Structure 1
């Protein structure tokens, strides 16, 4: 199993944070559309209904105002996305290095050298994805601002924390963990698999931007397909009013009864077309920027 170059912690933070900032600037409106599509529980049969689902109360407003309505909760989104990308893209290499130092031989003996490296990276991604649940309150606030702004009633984050309590802000945490574990496993595993088998890279940090984008496409598509059903349930839990006590299992039961099994893949096509490029973009940017920052910091970098 070939070893990748180890970048500094500072380079990982700066590279992944920069990727998060770029992602927010480009993709926040698309993310809003995706979340509103996933939260919709009715059939869309006409352009007028589609317009209502996407733009909600602003569906009859002029085009400029309708477009601005796709930027709700930008502050929450920025805080969440930047912290998430720093944690996920910057943290996964540390977990992977720990697993490599202690369990490389075990992975190699079971899966072989190349596949073992992909599986080790996937396992590190899965573990980091599970820990991502600590950012859930910011994710809840972002999703509610995008799909159910009435839940805020003019309150800010601190006021909502005081009024609703930690329990409500971590509503859906179990479903988040259940989504993140396989989703992050597929994301990092697919990415590493592509670098090993498609691009034949010995040192993954030496990948070009084009190679990073190609590998990220493989990882992102695998991640979105694997995590889609749990992501729909998670989103529906989080977009309810704070005083809602509807459980994830009840949502699952109602979806099967009222909308059919295919409802678990609602929004998958727009998600592959919208969230897919967003995930590919941020993941590839992080993998490109982290080594770039590492080289720029040179001998002054923080270890």
Structure 2
């Protein structure tokens, strides 16, 4: 029952966020592209790539929360110290990200290439990727995505859990309500998004690189060095504002919707 609840709640939360905030994600991707914002499409075709994003958002989020809740329930001990439970939250978030990226990365490859390609057709981009790079091409950027997602989750989820406990204690309740959980998700997501933006820039460059480009090898440190050498700190933090807005609002909707759906399902 807990497994199915996490699966369904994650699916609902993921779909709501990825579809409603998709234009902000497109702007962020184009700002991070090596082509530059205008050449990558500017504010035109702002919904390019929404098809694969919509198809992949629910299963990706469902798998993450299933792995996250399962790991957390196995390891969590309510009577243990704060440090122990913090380590459990970090472990659960890391496990969730590694598993979820198996679904998330192929979706990101098709979605981001659609976002920066003129007259994009997601299905044709998928066929082109398979034809030129094989299945391995669909997982280009897996390592860089995991390297981005794990630090992000190590900040976001323990902070979210900590803020929820703090708010509940302050309000004299056992647990926060859905709005309070969503507000905690807003702040934890925004902080994590700002800190991990350089890793997101590297991930975007790797996914969008041509097959003969050195970035296509997927090694994140050389890509970060190249970004720094060509554009400095400004390039490393390209797209930080839309990323923080997207993930802050996304954290509000995503984590708030997750807790709300979970509470509703547990009440059935």
Pairwise TM-score range, normalised by the shorter structure: 0.7 to 0.9
The residue number in structure 1 matching 2:254 is 282
CA distance in 2, matches of 1:41, 1:145: 14
The residue number in structure 2 matching 1:263 is 235
| Residue 141 of structure 2, aligned match among 157, 172, 191 | 172
- Equivalent positions of 1:184-203 (< 5 A) are 184-200=153-169
- Post-superposition shift, 1:205? 9.1
- Post-superposition shift, 1:53? 5.6
The residue number in structure 1 matching 2:111 is 142
State yes or no: 1:130 paired with 2:106. Answer: no
- Post-superposition shift, 1:118? 3.3
- Post-superposition shift, 1:185? 1.3
Which structure has the greater CA radius of gyration?
1
The residue number in structure 2 matching 1:92 is 68
Structure 2, gaps ≥5 residues long: none
- Give the structure-2-normalised TM-score: 0.85
The residue number in structure 1 matching 2:266 is 294
- Equivalent positions of 1:217-236 (< 5 A) are 217-236=186-205
- Post-superposition shift, 1:192? 0.7
Task: Describe the SS at the equivalent of 2:203.
Answer: helix
Distance 1:127 1:154, change over 3 A: closer
| RMSD value, Cα | 2.9
- Post-superposition shift, 1:8? 2.3
Per-residue Cα deviation, 1:175-232 (whole angstroms, up to 9, x for no partner): 1121111111111101111022232299x99431121112212321232133211111
- Give the structure-1-normalised TM-score: 0.76
Greater than 6 Å deviation, 4+ residue runs: 150-154
- Post-superposition shift, 1:91? 2.6
The residue number in structure 1 matching 2:208 is 239
Identify the structure with bigger relative contact order (alpha carbons < 8 Å, sequence gap 6+).
1
- Equivalent positions of 1:14-33 (< 5 A) are 14-33=8-27
Distance 1:205 1:259, change over 3 A: farther
The residue number in structure 1 matching 2:56 is 80
The residue number in structure 2 matching 1:121 is 89
